[in-house]
């Protein structure tokens, strides 16, 4: 049934068209552009891609290459059993303005050719902002997955990206009621907001099963389940400030000396570079290793006794998998983790990192998961339909 035929037949007699037929028509006709550019976005969009496949929707994936070229990410798509992107922009690194501008230009050209009904973006990266701006300026609807997160720290580029994207989006796909509350307080109409749960829950449930069938990464590092800590530090406010980075390492050293559990630290090359530039020594008990593939890292998360991180995504994943977390930041856009007790906000004070790690190390994982039931992708597609 063509779109024209539907309009002609239904204009005066829509009562005779059943919901089953209406939804079927919409499923057949709706064309979705899924825009992503970083590995966390691939992870959080993976369940939406699978839902589009399951419902046989008309969709395509556009990879901007914000962090890596598609060639570097190809194995990532393969490991997660996802279809390859139809388009690859390979914009590479650059200043915020340069990178965002390149992405906008590339996306606009593709959207003009493809003419999708809706563009889906996820999170708070330059890809998200560029995708939303490019689509909205040519009157293509925008759906923002993970809308309504707020740190209320405008010094973070991510905060600017997510706020602007929320205010130009047509469908605000909020992960929690708390996110909806923030959006309403900013004057966004309630009819635009859909509380769907967070796709990170879908991703953890679906991808952890794939990861466990992929081998045992704990053996590779001589670790046993619940007998090690997992650490990550990647945010610029921590890695590019010698005082903050030194304090974090001092905190790690105190934690190891007291608890006696090894700390595995998969470190981004930039973090390693800054450690060397600042002349920092790596304390005993901390093993710095190369960045890991997502499936291996997911296994390490699930098996850790405690996670020490400045990553927003890890705060969520730790909460979902029942692993206590200490966050090495002064604020968080995941306050739900603090409320349910899965996470403590330590900042970078070494003594506080040590104290909070001791408090959380034997924390029972009896908290309720505030991020949904693992059906966020299904709810997002229903909202669009």
pLDDT at 366: 94
Q: End-to-end distance of the chain based on CA atoms, in angstroms? A: 16
The domain over range 3-195 is classified in CATH as 3.40.50.2000: yes
User: pLDDT category, 212, cuts 50, 70, 90?
Assistant: confident
Domain ranges of the chain: 3-195, 213-360
Per-residue model confidence as pLDDT tens digits over 133-155: 999 999 999 999 999 999 999 98
Residue 59 backbone dihedrals phi, psi, to 5 degrees:
-150, 160
pLDDT at 291: 86
Beta strand 263-266 with 171-174 is unpaired
The yes-or-no verdict on residue 5 having pLDDT over 90 is no
CA–CA gap between residue 112 and residue 108 (Å, rounded): 6
Alpha carbon of 71 to those of 75, 98, 109: distances in Å?
8, 22, 22
Share of the chain above pLDDT 90, in %: 76
Q: Are residues 239 and 233 in contact, defined by beta-carbon separation less than 8 angstroms?
A: yes
- Average the pLDDT over 339-367 and give the result: 96
Pick left, alpha or beta for residue 187 (phi over 0 → left; psi -120 to 50 → alpha; otherwise beta). Answer: left
pLDDT at 6: 37
pLDDT at 7: 35
- Average the pLDDT over 320-342 and give the result: 95
Alpha carbon of 303 to those of 110, 115, 227, 229, 353: distances in Å?
42, 44, 8, 9, 21
pLDDT at 18: 43
CATH code: domain 213-360 is 3.40.50.2000
pLDDT at 8: 36
Nearest 10 degrees: Cα torsion 41, 26, 202, 49: -40
Q: Choose between 72 and 263: higher pLDDT.
A: 263
pLDDT at 353: 98
In CATH terms, are 3-195 and 213-360 the same topology? Answer: yes
Active site residue 167: no
- Active-site position among 63, 234, 268, 290: 234
User: pLDDT category, 192, cuts 50, 70, 90?
Assistant: very high
The yes-or-no verdict on residue 213 having pLDDT over 90 is no
The yes-or-no verdict on residue 17 having pLDDT over 80 is no
pLDDT at 90: 87
Say what the pTM is.
Answer: 0.80
Alpha carbon of 88 to those of 9, 76, 105, 381: distances in Å?
40, 14, 13, 24
pLDDT at 69: 66
């Amino acid at each position: 049934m063509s779109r024209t035929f539907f309009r002609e037949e239904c204009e005066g007699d829509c009562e005779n068209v059943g919901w089953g037929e209406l939804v079927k028509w919409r499923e057949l006709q709706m064309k979705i552009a899924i825009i992503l550019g970083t590995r966390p976005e691939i992870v959080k969009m993976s369940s939406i891609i699978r839902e589009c496949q399951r419902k046989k929707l008309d969709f395509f994936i556009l990879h901007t290459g914000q962090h890596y070229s598609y060639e570097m990410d190809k194995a990532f798509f393969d490991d997660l059993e996802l279809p390859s992107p139809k388009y690859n922009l390979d914009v590479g690194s650059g200043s915020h303005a340069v990178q965002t501008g390149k992405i906008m230009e590339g996306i606009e050209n593709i959207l003009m050719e493809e003419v999708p009904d809706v563009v889906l973006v996820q999170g708070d990266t330059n890809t998200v902002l560029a995708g939303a701006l490019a689509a909205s300026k040519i009157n293509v609807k925008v759906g923002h997955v993970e809308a309504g997160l707020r740190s209320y720290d405008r010094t973070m580029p991510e905060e600017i990206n997510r706020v602007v994207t929320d205010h130009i989006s047509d469908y605000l796909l909020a992960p929690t009621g708390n996110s909806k509350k923030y959006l309403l307080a900013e004057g966004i109409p309630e009819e635009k907001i859909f509380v769907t749960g967070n796709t990170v829950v879908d991703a953890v449930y679906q991808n952890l099963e794939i990861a466990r069938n992929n081998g045992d990464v704990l053996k590779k590092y001589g670790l046993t389940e619940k007998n090690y800590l997992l650490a990550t530090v990647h945010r610029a406010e921590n890695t590019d400030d010698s005082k903050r980075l030194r304090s974090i390492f001092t905190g790690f050293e105190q934690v190891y000396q007291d608890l006696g559990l090894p700390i595995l630290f998969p470190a981004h090359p930039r973090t390693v570079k800054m450690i060397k530039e600042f002349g920092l020594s790596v304390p005993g008990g901390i093993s710095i290793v190369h960045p890991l593939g997502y499936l291996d890292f997911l296994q390490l998360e699930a098996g850790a006794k405690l996670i020490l991180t400045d990553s927003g995504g890890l705060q969520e994943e730790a909460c979902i998998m029942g692993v206590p977390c200490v966050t090495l930041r002064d604020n968080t856009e995941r306050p739900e983790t603090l409320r349910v007790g899965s996470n403590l906000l330590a900042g970078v004070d070494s003594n506080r990192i040590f104290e909070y790690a001791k408090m959380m190390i034997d924390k029972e994982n009896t908290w309720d998961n505030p991020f949904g039931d693992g059906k966020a992708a299904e709810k997002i597609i229903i909202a669009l339909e």
